Structure 1
Amino acid sequence: MKYQSPEQALALIQDGETLWCHSMAATPYAMLNALARVAMEKRDLTLLSLHTEHSQALCAAELQGHLRQRVFFVGSPTRPAVQCGLADYVPAFLSEIPKMFRSGEQPVDTAIVQVSPPDKHGLCSLGISVEATRAAMQSAKKIIAQINPKMPRTHGDSFVHLADFDAYVELESEIPLHLPAEQDPITAQIGRNVASLVRDGDCLQMGIGAIPDATLACLGDRQNLGIHTEMFSDGVLPLLAKGVFSNRNKRKHPGKIVTTFAMGSQALYDFVDDNPEVVFLDVAYTNDTSVIRQNPQVMAINSALQVDLSGQVCADSLGTKIYSGVGGQMDFVRGAALSEGGRAVIALPATAAGGTVSRISSLLAPGAGVVTTRAHVHYVVTEYGVANLRARSLTERAKALINIAAPQFREQLAKDAYKDWGLLV
C-alpha cells in the first residue's frame, strides 16, 4: 500500500518488534530519520543492521526504552553509541547473517528497505546493496520500502516485486557518496607492495579505501584479472576501461563482476546502473568459502588494525573498544587459501597515531579481537615490505614481521619477542 509520508508507513510497526534496515550506501536514511520520531511513540523496538549511513538520529539517548540498535558491523554513525553502551554489537561472519534470518535463529518482524522504481513488470531493485537484506526480506513478516528514483537499478539477487511491500513511500533522496581517498606516500608504497603479489589471471577481493585504491592503481599492466568480492569501489573503474578486468579466468560467473554491495562516487553508481556485467548477489553466496574457492588464483586483500608477532590479526577493535566488525575478512581469507593458487593478504600501515605506535606489536592490546587467526594468516604487507607467514614457525614469523615494522620499533620488538614469547630473533 502506498503512503504519503515515511511516518505513515512506519506507523505499521508495533511495540516489541525486531526490525532490519537495508545497509551500506543503500541505507534508507530518510526513513530512519522518520523512524527516530515514530519510535518515540513505541516501546522495545530493536533495529538490526550492518554499517548504516546518516543514521545518527537513531543514536539519541532519549530513544532508550523505545528503540535500541543491534549492529553486525560498526561504522562511524553507530561507533560512539556502541562504545558507550547505547547500542549493541553482534560479532558474526558476514556470510552467516542471512543464515541466521532464514533459519529463524534471528527473527525479523519488519524489513525497511530502499529500492529503485518498479519496471513495467512491477520489479524494483535493491540497487547498490543486497548483502543480508534479501534474506531479511524473505524472513520478515512485513516489508516497508522507500522507492527512490536516485537508486541505481542493478542485476542479480536484487529484484523485489512491488506487490511484496506491505507499505511504501515514493521519496527521492541522495545516495551517499564515498569519494576515493587521497593517496599519500605510505599508502602508495603499501599499494605497490601488495600489487607485487598480483599475477595475471587473479580473481580479486578488495575493500574500500586508500590501500585498495593504491593497489589497483599499480595493476594497469596485468591481464585477465577477475572480481569476486564482498564490495567494490571506484578503483576498479579505470582498469575496467583498459580491459584489465576481463573476468575470463573465473569458473564461477565467468565474464561477470560478482559483488554484494558497492560504495563510491556517482560515476560508480552510474556504471552499475542497469549493467548486466555486474551482479549483486546474496552475501551468503558471495562470501561462501565453498563458492570462493572454486575460482582459481583468488587474491583476497584485507586490512587490519594490529598484528602480533605470532600472526594474529585484529581487525575489529582497538583493545576492548569495538571499531568496525568481523565482516567478511575470514570468509575470503579462508576461501583464497583453499583456491587453486590462491593467496590472502593483510595490508596495513606500519604505524598509527602519527608514527608513535607500531601496528606490528609483540602482543595484541588487551581485549583486542582476533578476526584472522595465526593459523589462517598468509601475507602481511606494510610500506616496509611483505612478510610471508605461511608454513613459518613462530620464530620465523616474528623475524619476518619485525622486518616490515617501522625501523624505530624493530629493536624493541626483538626484545619483546624474547620477553613475551621466548623467541630469539
Structure 2
Amino acid sequence: MFDYRSKLISVDQALALINDGDNITVGLGANEPPALLGSLHQIADRVRDVTITNCLATVPGEYLSVENVTKAFWIDSWFSTPQLRALSGTGRVSYIPNHLHLAGTRRNFHKRANIMISLASTPEASGRTRFACGNTYEEKIASQADLRILEISPNAPHSFGQNYLDWDQIDYVIESQGYPGTIPAAKPNEKDLAIGRAIADLVEDGDCVQVGIGGIPNAVCSYLYEKRDLGIHTEMMTAGIMDLMKAGVITGARKQADVGKTVFAFALGSQEMYQFIDKNPDCFTGRGEEVNNPWVIARNDNQVSINTTVEVDLTGQCCSESIGTLQISGTGGQSDTATGAQRSKNGRSIIALYSTLEKVNKETGELETISKIVPTLRPGAAVSLSRNDVDWVVTEYGAVNLRGTSIRERVERLISIAHPSMRDQLYADAVRCGYLPVAASVPRLAAGV
C-alpha cells in the first residue's frame, strides 16, 4: 500500500520549491495545473528568470500579466495561444519549433526541467497516478526532471492508456478541486461547411481518421455521420470525435492496430468530453512520441489526416502557424500526421484553408479581400509543412491532389481552387515567378484532379 500523505504538500510549499533560473514544464492544455498556475504570481516578487515551458496554454492566471512576466518569468511554448499572443510585445515569450512527437525528447536534449507539474486524476489503489487529459510529452519530461509534482483533483478524468507515473516516480502531490482547461467549440460557417463537405467526400467507410479542432474540422465531423466503421488515430481527442463515437459512426473495427480503440495523445475541449473519456474502455491515451510517430501512424491502412493552414504558396508550401513573423499557433503534429498518413496504405493527407481573408488595410482603413493562396509566403512566414509533404489541398472551391506533381502542375491546380476573382492575378504572378510560361493560358481544372 502506498503512503499518499508522505508526498502531500500544499500549493505554498510547492511554490517555495521554485528558485531563480528554474525551468518549470507544465502539462499540455487541459493538463495545466490550475491551482499552482493560479498562485504562481505570488512569487513574482521573489524569483527572477524562471522559465515556464508550456503547450496550448488554457489556464488563465495573473502570472501571465505583462507586469508579472516582465518581472519574473520567461515563457517558452510549443504552441502559442491568445494568452501568449497578448504578451508578444514583451520579448519574454518565445516559440519552440518542433514536431510534436519529438517535443519532449528534444527539450530534454536542450535542458532538463527542474520541476515538471501536471494535473492528474485520483491515484489508483497501487499508487499509479494518471495525467488527466493526455501524455504528449509529460512522461518524457518527467523522466529527466529534478522534481515531479502532480496536482491531484477529483474533477480530473481518469483516462486509460500509457498516461501515468507510478508512485515511486512521483516526488510530491498537491490537492485541488481544479477542472481541466477547456476551449469553446467553433460553430462552422458557410465556408467551413463547403470545405467540410469536400473533405468528407474524400473519406471512405472504414478509414482511420485524424482531425483537429476549429470551424473546418467541426464541419468535417458534421458530414461524417453518413460513414460507417471509421477508426481514430489522432493527436487530439475532440468533441466532434466524441459525438461520432456516441452515434456509432466510429467503431475502430477495421483498424489494423489498436482495433476498436480511439487512440489519442491528448484531449482538449469541453467538460462533457472529459467526462466521456473518464474510465471509457473505448478510449486509449498513448504517449505522444508514439501516437504521433509517422511510422506508428502508418500502421493503420487508409489513414486520413485532416489539418488546416494559414496560407499556401503556389508551389505547395504551407504556413500554418504564423502571420509573417508573428507566431499565432504552432506546427504541432501537422507534419507528423501528414507524413504518417501518406506512409499508410491508401492513406491521404488533407490540408484545408479558406480561399480568401478579409482584413483592414492599415493605410487606408478600408476592408480588403486578400488571397490565401499566394505566389510566395509573406516574409518571415514559417513553413509548417514542406511542399515535399503536401498531398490534398481543399478550399471552398474544391479539392486538388498535389502528390507527385511538378511545380507547373501544382500552380495550375492551386489556381483552380483559388477565389475566382484572384485567379487572373495568381496566373500573372506565376508567370512573373517563372512557374508558368508567358504564353500559357489560365487553367480551369475541375476540382478533384
TM-score scaled by structure 1? 0.95
* 1:232-289 Cα distance to aligned partner (Å, 9 max, x none): 2111223212322121222221111110111122221111001121111111001101
Please tell me whether residue 273 in structure 1 is matched to residue 278 in structure 2: yes
| Structure 2 Cα separation of the partners of residues 186 and 258 of structure 1 | 29
Please tell me whether residue 379 in structure 1 is matched to residue 392 in structure 2: yes
1:402 shift after superposition: 1.2
1:422 shift after superposition: 4.0
Could you say which residue in structure 1 is the equivalent of 2:413? 400
| Structure 1 Cα separation of the partners of residues 288 and 9 of structure 2 | 33
Please tell me whether residue 14 in structure 1 is matched to residue 27 in structure 2: no
Could you say which residue in structure 2 is the equivalent of 1:85? 91
Select the residue among 398, 403, 409 that pairs with 1:390.
403
| Structure 2 Cα separation of the partners of residues 196 and 333 of structure 1 | 18
Select the residue among 64, 70, 73 that pairs with 2:70.
64
What is the identity, as a one-letter code, of the residue corresponding to 2:413?
A: A
1:92 shift after superposition: 0.8
Select the residue among 150, 159, 168 that pairs with 1:154.
159
1:8-47 superposed matches below 5 A: 8-47=13-52
| Structure 2 Cα separation of the partners of residues 93 and 242 of structure 1 | 33
* 1:136-157 Cα distance to aligned partner (Å, 9 max, x none): 1111111122111110001111
1:124 shift after superposition: 2.1
Could you say which residue in structure 1 is the equivalent of 2:187? 182
Does the CA-based 8 Å contact 1:348-1:382 persist in structure 2? yes
1:190 shift after superposition: 0.6
Does the CA-based 8 Å contact 1:10-1:144 persist in structure 2? no
Select the residue among 234, 240, 260 that pairs with 1:255.
260
| Structure 1 Cα separation of the partners of residues 421 and 61 of structure 2 | 40
Q: CA-atom RMSD, angstroms?
A: 1.8
* 1:14-56 Cα distance to aligned partner (Å, 9 max, x none): 2222111112122113311212222431222111111111245
* 1:356-390 Cα distance to aligned partner (Å, 9 max, x none): 12111111111111111111101100111001111
| Structure 2 Cα separation of the partners of residues 56 and 329 of structure 1 | 29
| Structure 2 Cα separation of the partners of residues 374 and 421 of structure 1 | 17
TM-score scaled by structure 2? 0.90
Please tell me whether residue 362 in structure 1 is matched to residue 375 in structure 2: yes
What is the identity, as a one-letter code, of the residue corresponding to 1:195?
A: A
1:84 shift after superposition: 4.3
Change (3 A) 1:83 1:315: farther
Q: Percent identity?
A: 34
* 1:198-247 Cα distance to aligned partner (Å, 9 max, x none): 01121111101111111111112212211000002111223212322121
| Structure 2 Cα separation of the partners of residues 80 and 406 of structure 1 | 32
Does the CA-based 8 Å contact 2:41-2:68 persist in structure 1? no
Select the residue among 384, 400, 410 that pairs with 2:423.
410
What is the identity, as a one-letter code, of the residue corresponding to 1:279?
A: F
| Structure 2 Cα separation of the partners of residues 352 and 239 of structure 1 | 31
1:101 shift after superposition: 4.8
Give the SS at the match of 1:239. helix
Please tell me whether residue 338 in structure 1 is matched to residue 351 in structure 2: no
| Structure 2 Cα separation of the partners of residues 329 and 267 of structure 1 | 26
Give the number of aligned pairs.
424
Give the SS at the match of 1:391. coil
What are the ranges of 5 or more consecutive residues in structure 1 without an aligned counterpart?
A: none
Could you say which residue in structure 2 is the equivalent of 1:225? 230
Could you say which residue in structure 1 is the equivalent of 2:364? none
1:65 shift after superposition: 5.5
Could you say which residue in structure 1 is the equivalent of 2:3? none
What are the ranges of 5 or more consecutive residues in structure 2 without an aligned counterpart?
A: 1-5, 360-367, 443-449
What is the identity, as a one-letter code, of the residue corresponding to 1:29?
A: P
| Structure 1 Cα separation of the partners of residues 296 and 89 of structure 2 | 35
1:61 shift after superposition: 3.5
Could you say which residue in structure 1 is the equivalent of 2:434? 421
Does the CA-based 8 Å contact 1:158-1:280 persist in structure 2? yes
1:72 shift after superposition: 1.4
* 1:291-350 Cα distance to aligned partner (Å, 9 max, x none): 111110110000100001111100111011111111110011111111100010001111
Please tell me whether residue 100 in structure 1 is matched to residue 113 in structure 2: no
Could you say which residue in structure 2 is the equivalent of 1:171? 176
Change (3 A) 1:55 1:88: farther
What is the identity, as a one-letter code, of the residue corresponding to 1:156?
A: G
Please tell me whether residue 242 in structure 1 is matched to residue 247 in structure 2: yes
* 1:121-177 Cα distance to aligned partner (Å, 9 max, x none): 222211212111111111111112211111000111122234533232211123222
Does the CA-based 8 Å contact 1:225-1:244 persist in structure 2? yes
Give the SS at the match of 1:41. coil
| Structure 2 Cα separation of the partners of residues 109 and 264 of structure 1 | 29
Change (3 A) 1:400 1:422: closer
Give the SS at the match of 2:423. helix
What is the identity, as a one-letter code, of the residue corresponding to 1:96?
A: L
Give the SS at the match of 2:83. coil
Give the SS at the match of 2:223. coil
Moved more, 76-85 or 260-269: 76-85
